[in-house]
Amino acid sequence: MSRLSWPRARRVEPAAPLTDEAQRWLETSETIRRAVAGKGTIVAGPWLSEVGFEVLYWVPFLRFLVERFEIDPARIVIVSRGGTASWYQGIGSSYLDVFDYMTPAEFRAHMQARWDDLGGQKQDEFDKWDRAVLERAGGRLSWDRRSLLHPSLMYGLFRKFWKGGAPVDHVFGHTKVVRLPQPPQDEWTAKLPDEDYVAVKFYFRPSFPDVRANRAAVQQAVARLTANTPVVALNTGLELDDHAEAAIEARDRVIPLLDGVPPNVNLHVQSVAISRARAFVGTYGGLSYLAPLYGIRSIAFYSDRRHFLSSHLAVARRAAIQTGGSLETVSTRHTALLETLAPVDGRAEAVPA
């Protein structure tokens, strides 16, 4: 009797375990697929956190999701604050502003209560504070928790990068950075000077605290700038968070564009001014990230580098290269660098990260 000869089984190598980042993306993408299933309205937001996280991460993350999951922008309603609709062009079909149904005082109290309750303003999960904001919209907004693209998706995905445990490619693999279009001409553009100008916004934060030396640095910077160019000051006078604005002394060639600006367009008007400026000069943080996304040169001040993350700077500079802008960080000990603005004509070359 002949022996049957069975073919030797082919050895299958076990699949390599997923990295933490890959596992997180797998879980995040499943949540997103469920949220965008069907043909109904999708709410993206509410965005209540810092400008820097919004422009560097949240907006590019949503743009990536729209492309990756082939979401029809006509389904998406953006919920943010300050008139930032132009940042989301191509992402959503409509925009709802929190300040259309909440006063600045109410917003500040709301965010302070959230801070006291949770210890911060990062939207790591959809909680009672986010729900309260959406419910305040009343009949202006129809939403369902199951079809919500909430900022916690982005915060959860990038948290390891911010803590130094993932490479910058993890962020750029899940975002789409594009050069932002100028907001269209409106009543605010008519108030801008006809000649080239520099947009300026200084405020105090841990990396640029409210101390005598920094207040003096602000005045010296503005004095240097006005010797060569008009300055459009972006102080709003609004108290929306714990970042107090640095006063800018009245002087010739300083234009206080935002005096009396309505809260629901304050970031829109700042975007109008920055997007048309020769350069941006101000505190290191959100608006210094925004300027390069318009292809603008940005010079950002700090005095205590311990209080900002190098990870954000790496993302901001790489994004600037992609959009044709540049971002220079300047210690208050080296403010003479502002003199380099004098010969600048048009847009600056991008500065390598």
Q: Rounded distance, CA 44 to CA 289, Å?
A: 22
pLDDT tens digits, one per residue of 206-247 = 999 999 999 999 999 999 999 999 999 999 988 777 789 999
Q: Is residue 4 part of a domain?
A: no
Q: Is residue 349 part of a domain?
A: no
Provide the pLDDT for residue 337: 62
Provide the pLDDT for residue 22: 85
Boundary of a domain, candidates 139, 172, 205:
172
CATH code of 279's domain: 3.40.50.2000
Please give the order of strands across the beta sheet that includes 76-80. Answer: 94-97, 76-80, 42-44, 148-149
Helix, strand or coil for residue 304? coil
Q: Rounded distance, CA 5 to CA 3, Å?
A: 6
Same domain? For 34 and 164 the reply is: yes
Q: How confident is the model at residue 350 (pLDDT cuts 50, 70, 90)?
A: very low
Per-residue pLDDT for 18 more than 90? no
Q: Is residue 35 part of a domain?
A: yes
What average pLDDT does the structure give for the chain? 89
Q: How confident is the model at residue 254 (pLDDT cuts 50, 70, 90)?
A: very high
Boundary of a domain, candidates 138, 172, 206:
172
Same domain? For 25 and 117 the reply is: yes
Same domain? For 95 and 218 the reply is: no
Tokens of 11: 């050895």
Q: How confident is the model at residue 16 (pLDDT cuts 50, 70, 90)?
A: low
Same domain? For 319 and 264 the reply is: yes
Same domain? For 168 and 232 the reply is: no
Tokens of 260: 């009396």
Q: Is residue 298 part of a domain?
A: yes
Q: Is residue 234 part of a domain?
A: yes
pLDDT tens digits, one per residue of 171-184 = 999 999 999 999 99
Q: How confident is the model at residue 349 (pLDDT cuts 50, 70, 90)?
A: very low
Same domain? For 130 and 73 the reply is: yes
Q: Is residue 3 part of a domain?
A: no
Boundary of a domain, candidates 119, 145, 172:
172
Tally of structural domains, the chain = 2
Per-residue pLDDT for 260 more than 50? yes
Q: Is residue 68 part of a domain?
A: yes
Least confident of 98-107, 263-272, 298-307, 326-335: 326-335
Same domain? For 163 and 198 the reply is: no
Residue 232 CB neighbours (<10 A): 26
Same domain? For 127 and 238 the reply is: no
Same domain? For 296 and 327 the reply is: yes
Q: Is residue 5 part of a domain?
A: no
Same domain? For 26 and 158 the reply is: yes
Q: What is the DSSP string of 213-227?
A: HHHHHHHHHHHHHHT
Same domain? For 221 and 303 the reply is: yes
**Helix H or strand E encompassing 42:** strand 42-44
pLDDT tens digits, one per residue of 70-122 = 999 999 999 999 999 999 999 999 999 999 999 989 998 888 888 888 888 88
Same domain? For 201 and 112 the reply is: no
The domain of 287 spans 189-341
